[in-house]
């Protein structure tokens, strides 16, 4: 009888172990190298709220979000999900999940309300409290210095990223952060998605500061889509390199930190096997990722950009090229989806747009002969193609010499459907499958292909304000009830990650 009871107990344990493993589809912490970091991600403007509190100055996104018709649901982020006041609660949510790290951004205008000048001590105090709260729970802070929220004062003063003065002002802000927080922060991300804000803000005008000249300037009051995105990208690269140099010369020896930059990177697949489409697919990648990666690794822009953009593409001096090349310790990758690419054989796009898309000579679409490339999430642009993740990691390994990579964002959204109960909204099986499939491909890229990937951050911890999509999109692991004091509720994906992070 005792033997039977012991046997039953053993079988029950085995069942529970298998059940836990099957809940995570065979994935576990052991699917990733020792020391691999799991975390969640956010940004100041999408999360904090409190836009007029404690000395914070206005940003270009405050201005843009309050401009009629710029946000699909006419909302703004004045309150967002109120993390400025609720960060202690949110840090506990991360701890409950077993997350190792939290990626958040510092709002430049909380430190310097006017972009330059006198430091706002209340801003320093707030981020000190957040950093200390994270460390008290054993959660490592990964800090993004710039996540799109340029102080409005600098936009008004000299058009922000279009003027080289921004390099000096950004460096002063960044060094202030190194000095104030660097004794506890050892992972710095200089910029989030410079490609996105160069294109969306200065080419098509759909994000702050809303500059463009495409299609007879129907959408924007000012701008030049043929030149401004390239100027912005150039000044961002010089700003990043300047700040990385400051950190290495003045802070690294005592603070022992690392400096990287986070890029938005789709994977692209040729629409057909034709040489034209294969070449166009490479150009699509050059005008997205290579635009920034090639200068950082090789000292200049991709040859396809130099050839096709010509004199509109800024040039690095010899000293600048030397400063930019090698100016990062890791590459941050924000990856969500994969598209087909094909050669642009039409002159209509060139005539109507005269911008970076026309320059690339490539058209990228999530459809082939009317069939979608994968299942669709809520966002119009987000199609689920997990195998693209592995392909992208191998591309980075092969082209750039296998640099250290951190996945700084990955995730998918559900619609904010007012007709679905909270109980049903928490059943996010599609999100669980997304993360399982993408993480499985990431694990294969690391374990089987030898890609040097060191961490993975989920976008996002909470449902939040999603830029021009407002509150129509829910990316969070935690559901935020916008109708009831922004209460947080764990979706089923929270339990899934808990199981994953507890497993051996």
Catalytic residues, which ones?
Answer: 193, 409
Cβ within 8 Å of residue 54, ≥6 positions away = 110, 120, 122, 123, 126
User: Rounded to 5, what percent of the chain is helix, strand, coil?
Assistant: 45, 15, 35
Which of 97, 100, 34, 31 is CA-nearest to residue 441?
31
Cα 204 from chain centre? 19
Distances (CA, A) of 427 to 278, 386, 460, 464, 490: 40, 21, 16, 18, 10
Q: Coil, strand or helix: which one is 142?
A: strand
Which of 25, 41, 357, 374 is CA-nearest to residue 199?
357
As to burial, measured by CB atoms within 10 angstroms (0-12 exposed, 13-18 middle, 19+ buried), residue 371 is exposed
Q: Which two tokens stand for residue 94?
A: 């991360």
- Packing angle, helices 492-502 and 83-97, rounded to 10: 50
Q: Which two tokens stand for residue 309?
A: 């953009």
């Amino acid at each position: 009888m005792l033997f039977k009871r012991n046997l039953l107990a053993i079988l029950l344990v085995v069942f529970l172990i298998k059940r836990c493993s099957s809940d995570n589809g065979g994935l576990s912490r052991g699917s990733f190298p020792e020391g691999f970091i799991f975390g969640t991600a956010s940004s100041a403007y999408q999360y904090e709220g409190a836009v007029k509190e404690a000395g914070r100055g206005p940003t270009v996104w405050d201005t843009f979000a309050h401009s009629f018709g710029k946000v699909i649901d006419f909302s703004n982020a004045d309150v967002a999900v109120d993390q400025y006041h609720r960060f202690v609660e949110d840090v506990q949510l991360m701890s409950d999940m077993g997350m190792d790290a939290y990626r958040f951004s510092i709002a430049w205008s909380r430190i310097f309300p006017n972009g330059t000048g006198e430091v706002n001590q209340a801003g320093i105090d707030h981020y000190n409290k957040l950093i200390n709260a994270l460390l008290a729970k054993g959660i490592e802070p990964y800090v993004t210095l710039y996540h799109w929220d340029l102080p409005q004062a600098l936009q008004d003063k000299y058009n922000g990223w279009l003027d080289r003065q921004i390099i000096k002002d950004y460096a002063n802000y960044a060094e202030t952060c190194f000095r104030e927080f660097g004794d506890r922060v050892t992972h710095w991300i200089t910029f989030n998605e410079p490609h996105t804000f160069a294109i969306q803000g200065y080419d098509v005008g759909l994000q702050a500061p809303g500059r463009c000249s495409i299609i007879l300037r129907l959408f924007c009051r000012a701008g030049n889509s043929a030149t401004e995105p390239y100027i912005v990208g150039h000044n961002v690269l010089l700003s990043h390199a300047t700040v990385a140099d400051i950190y290495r010369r003045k802070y690294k020896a005592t603070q022992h930190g690392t400096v990287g930059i986070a890029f938005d990177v789709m994977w692209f697949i040729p629409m057909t096997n034709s040489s034209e489409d294969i070449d166009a697919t490479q150009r699509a990648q050059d005008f997205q990722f290579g635009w920034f990666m090639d200068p950082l690794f090789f000292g200049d822009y991709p040859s396809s950009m130099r050839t096709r953009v010509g004199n509109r593409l800024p040039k690095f001096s010899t000293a600048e090229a030397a400063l930019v090349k090698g100016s990062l310790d890791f590459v941050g990758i924000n990856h969500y989806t994969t598209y087909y690419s094909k050669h642009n054989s039409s002159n209509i796009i060139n005539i109507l747009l005269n911008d970076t898309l026309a320059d690339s000579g490539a058209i990228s679409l999530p459809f082939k002969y009317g069939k979608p490339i994968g299942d669709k999430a809520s966002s119009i642009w987000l199609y689920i193609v997990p195998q693209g993740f592995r392909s992208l990691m191998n591309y980075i390994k092969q082209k750039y010499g296998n640099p250290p990579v951190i996945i700084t964002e990955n995730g998918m959204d559900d619609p904010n459907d007012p007709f679905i109960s909270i109980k049903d909204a928490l059943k996010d099986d599609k999100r669980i499958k997304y993360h399982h499939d993408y993480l499985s491909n990431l694990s294969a890229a690391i374990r089987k292909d030898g890609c040097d990937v060191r961490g993975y951050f989920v976008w996002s911890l909470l449902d939040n304000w999603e830029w021009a999509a407002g509150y129509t999109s829910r990316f969070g692991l935690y559901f935020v009830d916008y109708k009831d004091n922004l209460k947080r509720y764990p979706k089923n994906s929270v339990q899934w990650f808990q199981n994953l992070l507890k497993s051996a």
